[in-house]
Amino acid sequence: MSARIYRSIHDLQGFSLKNCPPMPQPSGVLMCAPDHYQVLAVKNPYMSGHVGTVDHAKARRQWEALREAFDAAGCPVSLIDPAPGLEDMVFCANSSLAGTRPDGEKVALLSSMRHPSRRREVASFERWYGEHGYRVLKLKAGGHATFEGSGDAVWHPGKRLIWGGFGFRSDPEIYEQVAKAFHAPVVLLKLVNERFYHLDTCFCPLTPEAVLIHPAAFDAASLELILKIFPIVVTATEHDAVGKMACNAAVVNSRTAILQKGATTVSNHMHALGLGVCEVDTSEFIKSGGSAYCMKQYLFG
Ligand code: ARG
């Protein structure tokens, strides 16, 4: 099952989460300071009405508090230098997907971004991974398919299994290459609602058994897959999912969830599942369509 693609529950015969080999939890996160962060052009529905409205001092304070929240949760933070002219580089999740292979080798698969304004970010990450002992892989040249890294490709906590979103920023065909890069099977999930343009806006594994989702983001076949594989599925209300980007929570070691403040129903679910909840304010970044999860890249190994 090492590099299989699961597209519907009919593909799941013989599949069991228990049989997925273990995968270490992330060893830390990579973040990029918001020195050049701006909302310049509308690339997703969150951005409309916010062009030119970023309060830079406030964004910096919010970013520092998020960085401290990762530290306090026991998750070491590494930094990549912000590059001038790359207004979205603060959203570190998107330009790559990092992980380990079964033999422990650290791998980073570079993204192929949908928007030209974000394509230059990838070279900075390529350099960073090269300097930090990763095998750096690129998607096959020549294709038009796009892939937005851990914005759409999400590791199952503690398991050698990847959840792959597609529909707006990533194309389904690239997941064959994702599966081969990490020697891990991929479960494909189709996003059907533009508000939830990345998988990380509507799907957040909390523990190996429990996931938080916003159901209206998915087609029926994808919901079936989620319900079949996760024993516990909790949902975010529209208020929390859209207004607070609550599914964009960053969960550290299946123990502490770092998320936008004010997502009351979601934080109640998290408490009920035994997670610690750390509320932060990412309002300046929600103007661009991102919150705690996508402001970092999980690192492994
Ligand atoms: N403005 C950025 C974009 O539209 C936000 C990306 C947020 N990332 C995420 N994974 N949700 O590309």
Q: Render pLDDT for 133-165 as a digit per residue (tens, 0 to 9).
A: 999 999 997 788 999 999 999 999 999 999 999
pLDDT value of residue 141: 79
CA–centroid distance, residue 44 to ligand 1 (Å): 8
Which pairing describes strands 28-32 and 297-299: parallel, antiparallel, or unpaired?
antiparallel
What is the signed CA dihedral for 99, 100, 101, 107, rounded to 10 degrees? 70
Ligand 1 near 167 CB (within 6 A): no
Tell me what percent of the residues of the chain surpass a pLDDT of 70. 100
Cβ proximity of 179 and 156 under 8 Å: no
In tens, the pLDDT along 161-192 reads 999 999 999 999 999 999 999 999 999 999 99
pLDDT value of residue 2: 75
Rounded Cα–Cα distance for residues 243 and 233 (Å): 21
pLDDT band at residue 301 using 50, 70 and 90 as cut-offs: confident
Cβ proximity of 27 and 299 under 8 Å: yes
CA atoms within 13 A on the CB side of 255: 9
Kindly report the average pLDDT of the chain as a whole number: 97
Q: How far is CA 162 from the centre of its chain?
A: 11
Q: Could you tell me the two tokens for 75?
A: 């998750």
CA–centroid distance, residue 288 to ligand 1 (Å): 7
Full-model pTM: 0.97
Rounded Cα–Cα distance for residues 194 and 169 (Å): 10
CA–centroid distance, residue 30 to ligand 1 (Å): 16
Q: Is residue 1 predicted with pLDDT exceeding 60?
A: no
Q: Which of 148, 244, 259, 288 to mutate to test the pocket of ligand 1 (most atoms within 8 A of CB)?
A: 288
